[in-house]
Chains A and B, each alone.
Chain A
Amino acid sequence: MATQIEDRSKSEEESRTLPTGEKEFFLDVHTSDLEVNFGPQHPATHGVMRILMRADGELITGAQPHLGYLHRCAEKIGESVEWLQYLPYTDRYDYLAAMNNNLGYSMAVEALMPGLVIPRRAEMIRTICAELNRIGSHLIAFGTYGLDIGAFTPFFYAFREREWMMALFEKICGARLTYSYIRIGGVFNDAPPGWLEEVARFCDVFEEKWKEYVDLLVMNQIFVKRTANVGVIPREMALDFGLTGPMLRGSGVDFDLRRDLPYSLYGEMLRDKAFDVIVGKGEKGTLGDCWDRTWCRVFEMMESIKIVRWCLERIEPGPVLGDIPKVLRIPPGEAYVGIENPRGELGHYVVSDGGKVGVRVRVRGPSFTNVAVLEELLPGALIADAIAIIGSTDVVIGETDR
């Protein structure tokens, strides 16, 4: 693929001087430009992302992300399989947050079925699963970000808790990664006996362990030095690029679909003030830097724990699947439903002509939108900063390519 990387050497001069002024001495020396093919097989790209970079020594002067190495035609498949059959495909775009994907797709299809009532217990279990999955996803984001920065141990600490989370999902639906558990009309089956109690225990233990993450990595002096003032996304830029999720909140924009467009049970939670939206404050550096984004993710985990506890207090026995026929025919119409995925707004736009098979299933993936900002952020950063910036966007390539 013949690609020209846009040369930003003219705009370099501003981006080189950061608020701390630490990088000034790089201005003195110039070497001939080096084109570095970063990925698709690279330990720090979190999958098969490829970034073509132009570097002047350690300083990046141009960067262009290339997508498509994991393209599996998920949206096209949606036009040729039955409504319910498409559910397993949703697991596979953001494979770290499959529960949330299931939820987003199910809610989009349910929006076309006006008569359908989702049992309250199903909504509760859905919320618990989605929030536990958010914790698991943020644990991966946090752990692999430590790897990117060069700290290996937090990764294993994060996996310790994630393992339990996955064991919980294994108990409720039999799968550890691609669940297909939340489905149109409710959830697949009821929670096994003792499962809710175990979730409560998980919440208690996680709260203790979570403090370790903050001490070990987030507040670590070297980590702060590496991430504060690096990859700053100002508020306007975040809005311009349509960033969502922790990427947006890290830049100080107070926006969370769970609160601003409440779906499922989140409206009730808001009345109870059950959770807060974590917004970056620029505590260690400039607002919108890599540290703020990580901080948002780590603290969001605790908010998810609050939500899970809220559900555990109120869950009651009852049915878990609404009145869904064996052969699902969705009334004609179109619907867009966006939910707050761990990485931002996951939107599903579905069109039905009244048949068994969808006419259009369009996905708005948060990673795809968030990755666009890299082209703007990387020029002016060092190679090591590039790793920090890519890690802080927390892309899942399965979702950018679908």
Chain B
Amino acid sequence: MDGGNIFLTLLQKVAPEGVPAWVLALTAAVVGIAILVGFVSVLVMFAVWLERKVSGHIQCRYGPMYAGGWHGWAQSVADGVKLLAKEDLIPLGADKPLFVLAPALMLAAIFGALAAMPLSPSVYFTNLNLGLFAILAMSSMTTIGVVMAGWASNSKWALYGSMREAAQVVAYEIPFGISLLVPLMVIGTFNLGEASARQAGWFGMHWVMFQNPFVLPAFLLFFTAALAETKRAPFDLPESESELVAGFMTEYSGIRWSFFFLEEYAAMFLMSVVGAVFFLGGFESPLTHFARESFGAGSVVHEVTAGVTLLLKAMFGIFLMMWLRWTLPRVRIDQVMTMGYKYLTPLALLCVLGAGIWEAIF
């Protein structure tokens, strides 16, 4: 597998003779980043709208119904415009450079992590051999942004929020990483595209989930830890609006505040994609299988089916997170820590042990 991206390959085909290689590489990178940011932003807008609709219907109401006409589909766009038009407010006592840098750092980290995500079997931004590793490393960087935001705000609520985030992420990185070891042992690759390709058998149902009995508990652990990683309820302690006003983002407003929102939903999407690729078959489904069989691997139909399959799986994961958020109360900080260290970590280790033994025997 080469390390380049699909846009570079395309450019090399269409570019006239004599264009320097670095111009091509730079153009490809800019195009790739633009597409990634655009794709994720639209997705986040959709997810925010979805969250409001899902919460509305769970709570016996409709959610947004006006903006844009059909079920308020343009609500997120309207909100985005409103946030853009708001005053850029930085508190007097805040540490200005850090205050400005924090949301940017979080966005950069989460987009960096999302760059390792393939859109379809042959459309990807970077094809990393250590794709999952890159995702874990980059998404952990967002914590630094949260702590930075909390410290720079010069507010006690924000400080509480960021300290909680630091403690929580340190506690949950461990079970998160360990539970991902289980599918890694089963499929034996860090590369997201390849991981998906290795689950292609059984008419597209040869998912990691069905290959080893220890993957299901590992998936549940992964999902729980992912909730904590993405600061989603019931682990939304860094934000916990009824306790800490708005946690680490108390002092933020306008478009800078919306960056935190963007990061949260992008992180949800990222975790759902990781879960879908490493547990739930990635691009593979019976539909993808038949598209490949009938139209051939690499055909447009196959690529689109595969991409849509992954997107639907990721959306299902996001829906699950929303469902949990609007159903469960929030846990307390000591319960979060107890759960992470005393239960999730040993259980994840047990899963690794069990899956390892199973793999060795069968």
Interfacial residues, chain A to chain B (CB-CB below 8 A) = 22-23, 25-26, 34, 36-37, 42-44, 57-58, 146-153, 155-157, 160, 216-217, 220, 222-223, 225-226, 382-385, 387
B233–A150 CB distance below 8 A: yes
Residue of B163, B326, B333, B338 near A382 (CB, 8 A) is B333
B226 to chain A, nearest CB (A): 18
Which of B57-65, B71-79, B138-146 forms contacts with chain A?
A: B57-65
B243–A153 CB distance below 8 A: no
Neighbouring B residues of A147 by C-beta, 8 Å: 242
Residue of B55, B60, B333 near A152 (CB, 8 A) is B55
B338–A384 CB distance below 8 A: no
Neighbouring A residues of B330 by C-beta, 8 Å: 149-151, 222, 226, 384
Known contacts A58-B160, A153-B59; is-contact A226 B334 (Cβ 8 Å): no
Give the distance in Å from the alpha carbon of A151 to the alpha carbon of B240 in the complex: 11
Residue of A25, A42, A156, A226 near B59 (CB, 8 A) is A156
A244 to chain B, nearest CB (A): 26
* Max count, chain B CB within 10 A of own CB: residue among A150, A223, A383: A150
B61 to chain A, nearest CB (A): 7
A156–B60 CB distance below 8 A: yes
Neighbouring A residues of B327 by C-beta, 8 Å: 151, 153, 216
Known contacts A156-B60, A156-B61, A226-B329; is-contact A150 B334 (Cβ 8 Å): no
Measured CB to CB, the nearest residue on chain A to B337 is A25
Residue of A42, A58, A148, A225 near B245 (CB, 8 A) is A42
* Max count, chain A CB within 10 A of own CB: residue among B241, B329, B330: B329
A-B contact count (CB 8 A): 86
A294 to chain B, nearest CB (A): 12
Neighbouring A residues of B242 by C-beta, 8 Å: 43-44, 147-150, 387
Residue of A146, A155, A216, A382 near B332 (CB, 8 A) is A382
Neighbouring A residues of B234 by C-beta, 8 Å: 150, 222
Interface string of B316-343 (1 = CB under 8 A from A): 0000000000111111111100100000
Measured CB to CB, the nearest residue on chain A to B156 is A36
At the interface, yes or no: B303 with Cβ under 8 Å from chain A?
no
Extra A-B contacts (19), CB below 8 Å, given A146-B329, A150-B329, A225-B331:
A22-B335, A43-B242, A44-B243, A58-B334, A150-B234, A150-B236, A150-B240, A152-B326, A160-B60, A216-B327, A222-B234, A222-B328, A222-B331, A226-B332, A226-B335, A382-B332, A383-B243, A383-B244, A384-B332
Residue of B236, B241, B328, B331 near A43 (CB, 8 A) is B241
Give the distance in Å from the alpha carbon of A39 to the alpha carbon of B67 in the complex: 35
Measured CB to CB, the nearest residue on chain B to A151 is B329
Residues of B230-265 at the interface with A, using a CB-CB cut-off of 8 Å, are: 233-234, 236-237, 240-245
B164 to chain A, nearest CB (A): 8
A37 to chain B, nearest CB (A): 8
B332–A385 CB distance below 8 A: yes
Give the distance in Å from the alpha carbon of A22 to the alpha carbon of B333 in the complex: 12
Interface string of B150-178 (1 = CB under 8 A from A): 00000010001001000000000000000
A151–B328 CB distance below 8 A: yes
Give the distance in Å from the alpha carbon of A155 to the alpha carbon of B326 in the complex: 11
- The 13 sampled A-B contact pairs (Cβ below 8 Å) are A147-B242, A150-B233, A151-B328, A151-B329, A152-B59, A157-B60, A216-B327, A222-B234, A222-B330, A226-B329, A226-B332, A383-B333, A384-B332
Residue of B55, B237, B326, B335 near A225 (CB, 8 A) is B335
Measured CB to CB, the nearest residue on chain A to B234 is A222
Known contacts A22-B334, A58-B160; is-contact A384 B329 (Cβ 8 Å): no
Measured CB to CB, the nearest residue on chain B to A26 is B334
Is the interface on chain B under 10, 10 to 19, 20 to 34, or 35 or more residues?
Answer: 20 to 34
Neighbouring B residues of A57 by C-beta, 8 Å: 163
A220 to chain B, nearest CB (A): 6
Give the distance in Å from the alpha carbon of A286 to the alpha carbon of B83 in the complex: 47
A222–B329 CB distance below 8 A: yes
The 4 A-B residue pairs with the shortest CB-CB distance, nearest first, are A150-B330, A156-B59, A151-B329, A149-B329
Give the distance in Å from the alpha carbon of A23 to the alpha carbon of B245 in the complex: 24
Interface string of B195-225 (1 = CB under 8 A from A): 0000000000000000000000000000000
Measured CB to CB, the nearest residue on chain B to A383 is B243
Neighbouring B residues of A42 by C-beta, 8 Å: 245
A217 to chain B, nearest CB (A): 7
Give the distance in Å from the alpha carbon of A254 to the alpha carbon of B334 in the complex: 34
Give the distance in Å from the alpha carbon of A226 to the alpha carbon of B336 in the complex: 11
Neighbouring A residues of B338 by C-beta, 8 Å: 22
B329–A220 CB distance below 8 A: yes
A45 to chain B, nearest CB (A): 10
B28 to chain A, nearest CB (A): 45
Measured CB to CB, the nearest residue on chain A to B160 is A383
Give the distance in Å from the alpha carbon of A225 to the alpha carbon of B339 in the complex: 12
Give the distance in Å from the alpha carbon of A155 to the alpha carbon of B59 in the complex: 8
Measured CB to CB, the nearest residue on chain B to A37 is B156
Give the distance in Å from the alpha carbon of A42 to the alpha carbon of B244 in the complex: 8
B100 to chain A, nearest CB (A): 26
Neighbouring A residues of B243 by C-beta, 8 Å: 44, 383-384, 387
B70 to chain A, nearest CB (A): 24
Give the distance in Å from the alpha carbon of A156 to the alpha carbon of B160 in the complex: 29
Neighbouring B residues of A148 by C-beta, 8 Å: 242
A153–B58 CB distance below 8 A: yes
Known contacts A36-B156, A150-B242, A152-B59; is-contact A23 B331 (Cβ 8 Å): no
Measured CB to CB, the nearest residue on chain A to B59 is A156
B328–A384 CB distance below 8 A: no
B245–A43 CB distance below 8 A: yes
Give the distance in Å from the alpha carbon of A270 to the alpha carbon of B196 in the complex: 71
B59–A157 CB distance below 8 A: yes
Give the distance in Å from the alpha carbon of A382 to the alpha carbon of B336 in the complex: 13
A23–B329 CB distance below 8 A: no
A222 to chain B, nearest CB (A): 5
A23–B334 CB distance below 8 A: yes
Give the distance in Å from the alpha carbon of A362 to the alpha carbon of B327 in the complex: 44
B180 to chain A, nearest CB (A): 26
Measured CB to CB, the nearest residue on chain A to B236 is A150
